[in-house]
Structure 1
């Protein structure tokens, strides 16, 4: 099966649903959107099963031939082990989220449009990971950015815009403004990252004379290029990765992106788009392997972002924002790994994170759905009595992200911590501390939502229906057993995932004694267990909210406040000043225009359209001319 079928199916779904929505009444639009992604998943599965060690490279047509680049740039798709893994994640998890959305979005008046946007996103994400060149990757990069903007701001008028209740309508209007602002914030902050990506592409072409990824992989080591140029190109690409993956300092857009429907959070901000930055660094490994300084920047930005996200998640109250800051933190882990050249560890955590974080977001969506859009965890509690199935799958997700054996996060997080221990003691300490904080805030999320007494005001909340339960159950199984794909050798495994991905990306080989690896594993598991016990204690005592750490966490370390005071407020002041000058200038210019036009206004009085007025005008004109002639004649005679 040709690779172009992968993005083609969801693109066709998008075109049909957005152009001919009336042909798909009821849930038929959602069924079509889901079917197109399922078709792409089947193609991805066939290509994965039939894959060889030789990458597949399929060219569709020549793009920009002999133009400014002075080289033929093709539209083509490139499939190796890395891109094969990514297309399975995108289409597999994407299909489950589409199915879940059939129920979750069933009462939304823009149901068909929602699935059109989801299809567009999946198509653009597939183009991004299959692209055989950086410019084509950038097309997918911008496409997922556009789709993200459309989906974050999907409820731009609020969820209850059509209600007859004035109070609900007013609240919905305020919510719509907030949602629109969140979409604009994500779009604008990502433009900074996009500028870095473009500068990186320009410099790579200047250095190597090509932007084809397969060609660059061949030329990188053999072509003599100044190290400083490679370092700068990699730093520019890092700026692009930071923007798309919500890393410091461009991280504040991602928590606000929770304004979109919960399936959007699960698909875009957990499993796919926000991992594009990690994919970019891993795909560009042939450059980062030659740029130690840029790689160190990647690792440290990842480590600091992991710590920032974990601290910000400690005392949040929105059920989705806790998970959003957790995503920021887990992405930091991935960046730390790829920055240390442990590409397989970073990509493996990308895979397991797609399972357990998509699961947690969809479980949160089921709770929100049951509580009629309530998202404050302080208004929940005891939900396990009403939603036993969702409670069990949520527990699996919490144990996975906390790194508890045998759940998937235990295996992927351990590999990152081992790489950090070998390369940088400081990053290892940060990573271990983040593991402790992760278990705490996710334990807090679990206890506030599922344990204790119910504190809400919705009578008889109900569990998810079958359409939502099936994706939750599949993701729970993957989150539980997905780590078995990469069992390390010191506990009797054969690193199957590392072996597979090593055919496309260089492997980071550990030089750590088995006894040391057991010690590191014990410390990581202890951090997870202690974090969960701390969360249980905090649930009884509630001391965090009253302390300075609680306030610091609730305000996400005041980073948004800092940006508002340092960037937004001065910008608004400057814009106000320009507006005042503009208004003043307009006043002067309008005054001159009015004075210049005043005489003309008098003459327009004569243009009445009445024949008698024109006759009087002609008579008076004739009389004035005769009078002037008579006075001139008399004057000449005198």
Structure 2
């Protein structure tokens, strides 16, 4: 099947659901949206198994004809084309596979919502845009998908703009603010992406990714500083989309949307786009050691920031949101060290266990009638045994305990850091300790001990539509790591590394087997210590009021800093330009009024009355006739 079917199927779902919402009663709209994502997954599977060493490059139509390229003055056509190689094929499987499970889960989770059909329309649109992003054969087409997922995130994060169920106005305002925050902060990153594209176009005369990749090392005929600058611009875009420092504060707030949205954003779609952009642009980053080190350190520091911020959170979803920030930091650390396959491997396993954890959290919230405070939970393992066990698998996977998926993928990143950059390795190891602690705390506060919530509630496991996706994701979080077993463990053959190596470089770092065992042992011990620490400390259900606890709860005060310095500064400037003092308009108000005054003349003529338009035509005709008459009298004709 042609590649265009991958984004087209969810786009058809979006069009049908958004335009014909009244046609779909009950949950039929949810089934249609889910079915089309499932069909896209089937197409992704067919293309995956049919993939050869030669990438599939399919052109649809000419987009921008006769572009003047570069400084050579030649012209060419920029086409709409899709490009499928091993990297984009893996991404399509993650997006459609995990996306399908989230859609099915949503049928039950969103049942009864007044805008049920519209929710699935937006979800289909989200998946379609992400598929365009990863299949694009050029940076401009990738940017179309890039902006599309930004728009979809805005629509879904603020989906409950009027509040949820009880239409709580304050909650609705918070949701709307979170959506705007995500949209605006991503525009900063988008500017970096655009500047990177403009510079690529200026220097190399093409924006088609396969053409750039084919040049390889010959790109160095261009001065290295220009390549470094291109990579730094692209990094700004990646940082914005993947919520890395310093543009990270929008991502934790994105959990304001319905829980399936959190799972889709944090696991399978939007936030992985930045990692994909850098991995796809490996032919630039391999030639830019300076920019690559910026990527690695941005990832390492973001991983640390997210872990420290998650330690003392009390919202069941916000703990997971800061965890996403931290895990994405691991991926950036890996691509910055040119360990592209290790980053993509962790992207895949993270999609499994993070989607699992978010959907499990959603099942808890659903059972407790929208309660999200972990201090009001506890002891739910007895009343929700299935959700408890799949949650435990998710915690073990993200903690890196053998044999679960995160054990293999995270250790690959730590081994790469150990071989190349000791400070980053130590940061990564410390983050692993913190991850085990805050996820252990999440587990013990929610599932163990005694129930601390409303005694009138009787929580129970969800129905089949809620539980089935959890079961599949739990299985993937358990066995997913075996897709890429390293050689020193169980005689592994690096299957995923070898597969991805046909599309992106695999930079192997020789480490003695004894050292690899030592690194692995240390990582596992770190995870066990963190879980033990959480078990010892989990009785602390009340929020710590000490300086360290408050610093973690306030996410190291980064959001407050931005609000005070950037937000406060802009507010002061705007007030200074348009100040109202004792009923007297400020200077800028007068300027605005004087500039806008001539517009009154236009409103006189654009009144909507036919007689005014007829008079205008009559006067205009008279003026034209009079003009030509005067020219004739004067001998001008």
Q: TM-score, normalised by structure 1?
A: 0.90
Q: Which runs of 5+ in 1 are unaligned?
A: 164-168, 594-638
Matches of 2:442 and 2:592, distance apart in 1: 61
Judge which range, 356-365 or 58-67, deviates more. 58-67
Shift of 1:580: 1.5
2:355 aligned with 1:353: no
| Contact 1:208 1:219 (8 Å CA) reproduced | no
Q: Is the 8 A contact 1:40 1:91 kept in 2?
A: yes
Partners of 2:518 and 2:594 lie apart in 1 by 83
Cα distance between partner residues in 1 of 2:36 and 2:594:
63
Tell me the equivalent position of 1:175: 171
Q: Is 1:71–1:210's contact at 8 Å kept on the other side of the alignment?
A: no
Partner of 2:564: 565
2:578–2:587: 8 Å Cα contact kept in structure 1?
Answer: no
Choose the corresponding residue for 1:142, options 143, 147, 152.
Answer: 147
| Distance in structure 1 (CA, Å) of the matches to 2:217 and 2:426 | 34
- Structure 1 residue 24, shift from structure 2 partner: 0.9
SS of 1:505 mapped into structure 2 = coil
For residues 550-629 of structure 1, what are the structure 2 equivalents within 5 Å? 550-580=549-579, 583-585=585-587
2:187 matches 1:191: yes
Residue 426 of structure 2: aligned partner: 429
Per mean C-alpha deviation after superposition, the further-off stretch among 335-344 and 201-210 is 201-210
Distance 2:92 2:457 in 1: 42
Aligned residue number for residue 400 of structure 1 = 397
Give the TM-score taking structure 2 as reference length: 0.90
2:333 corresponds to which residue? 336
Whole-Å separation in 2 of the counterparts to 1:444 and 1:190 = 31
Aligned CA distance change for structure 1 residues 495 and 590 (closer, same or farther; 3 Å): closer
Distance 1:133 1:296 in 2: 25
1:291 counterpart residue number: 288
Q: Counterpart of 2:125?
A: 120
Tell whether the 8 Å contact from 1:356 to 1:397 is kept in structure 2 after alignment: yes
Match of 2:450 in 1: 453
Query: Could you tell me which residue of structure 2 aligns to residue 613 of structure 1?
Result: none
Number of the residue aligned with 2:620? none
Residues 1:89 and 2:94 are matched in the alignment: yes
Match of 2:459, SS state, is coil
Deviation at 1:546, TM superposition (A): 4.3
Q: Is the 8 A contact 2:303 2:431 kept in 1?
A: yes
Per the alignment, do residues 522 and 583 of structure 1 end up closer, same or farther by CA in structure 2, a change over 3 Å counting? same
Q: Provide the residue aligned with 1:11 in structure 2.
A: 11
The C-alpha deviation readout for 1:493-535, integer Å capped at 9, x for no partner, is 1111111111111102121000000000000000100000000
Q: Within 2, Cα distance between the matches of 1:63 and 1:38? A: 29
| CA deviation map 1:44-103 (0-9, x unaligned) | 000001111110000001111113554311100000000000000000000000000000
Question: Residue 203 and residue 460 in structure 1: after superposition, are their counterparts in 2 closer, same or farther (change >3 A)?
Answer: same
- Which position in structure 2 is the counterpart of 1:212? 208
Per the TM alignment, residue 586 of structure 1 is displaced from its structure 2 partner at its CA by: 8.4
Aligned equivalents of 2:24, 2:41: Cα separation in 1: 23
Question: In the alignment, what sits opposite 1:65?
Answer: 65
**Which of these two proteins has the greater Rg computed from alpha carbons?**
1
Matches within 5 A, 1:363-374: 363-374=360-371
**How much has 1:591 moved relative to structure 2?**
12
> In 1, are the aligned partners of 2:314 and 2:543 still within 8 Å (CA)?
no
Alignment-derived partner of residue 486 in structure 2: 488
Q: Aligned residues, how many?
A: 584
**Contact 1:538 1:544 (C-alpha < 8 Å) held by counterparts:** no
Moved more, 544-553 or 486-495: 544-553
Inter-CA distance 589–101: structure 2 relative to 1 (3 Å threshold): closer
CA distance in 1, matches of 2:509, 2:226: 30
SS of aligned partner of 1:60: strand
Query: Quick check: 573-582 or 205-214, which moved more?
Result: 573-582
Partner of 1:631: none
Indicate the larger mover: 563-572 or 404-413.
563-572
Equivalent position to 2:197, from 196, 201, 204: 201
Deviations 1:171-228 (A, max 9, x none): x100000000000000000000000000000111112110000000012422411100
Pick which of 343-352 and 484-493 moved more: 484-493
Gaps of 5+ in 2: 70-74, 596-637
In the TM superposition, what is the alpha-carbon distance from 1:124 to its structure 2 partner?
0.3
Q: Trace 1:138-537 onto structure 2 (pairs within 5 A).
A: 138-160=143-165, 163=166, 169=167, 172-223=168-219, 224-457=221-454, 458-491=456-489, 492-537=491-536
